[in-house]
Amino acid sequence: MIKLLLTGIWACAITLGAVYFSVQHASAPKVSEEEATRAAVQEYVPGEMITIPVIAKGSVQGYFLTRLSFAADKTKTKTLQMPLKEGTTSALYDILLGQKLINIADTSNFDMAQFKQIVRDGLNERYGDKVIFDVYVEQLDYLNKSDLARLSQPPDEAHEPKPVAIVDKNGDVAHDVLPAKESSGGH
């Protein structure tokens, strides 16, 4: 009986000691000064749903449906002549219509990371400063002409068109989610 009691006390002491030392030696993740400065001035700007026509052979072949959101520098967004959301929507039309970033016939070469970088760089070039830190692709779908024709018909549950999600060469689809805002702690 005493052996069992001493074994239990020994196991508890070892466990408590291991937990104590692991907590003492654990360190907070190191954040560089650049990351800390960026986090202090960063704000998340939710994007609007925009529809971009795909024009080929002299006519509209379909539409991209996209919702892009952004991590932006809030000190620089206050100095912009046009509100960020509206200016960004306008600039996206110029960027996405002007450059053929997605080949609908062959999406195996589409690179989501490159798409985000091109959009970010294009927006920053448009604003003349590094205003946009990150681009979040919440949705990127495509509707072709036959889908649009079915949409104009009376609803039929069995044949209801659904947008086709664009898949990049790595098999990733647009599903970025804005980071949750931290609660203020007030009650």
Per-residue pLDDT reduced to its tens digit, 69-127 = 888 888 888 888 888 788 787 778 777 777 766 666 666 777 888 888 888 998 888 88
pLDDT tens digits, one per residue of 27-54? 667 777 777 777 777 888 888 888 888 7
Q: Which domain holds residue 78?
A: 42-165
175: which 2 tokens?
């599903």
Q: How many CA atoms lie within 13 A of 163 on its CB side?
A: 16
Is position 173 within any domain?
no
CATH number at residue 136: 3.30.479
pTM: 0.64
Q: What's the domain count of the chain?
A: 1
Cα–Cα distance measured from residue 113 to residue 158, given in angstroms and rounded to the nearest whole number: 36
Is position 116 within any domain?
yes
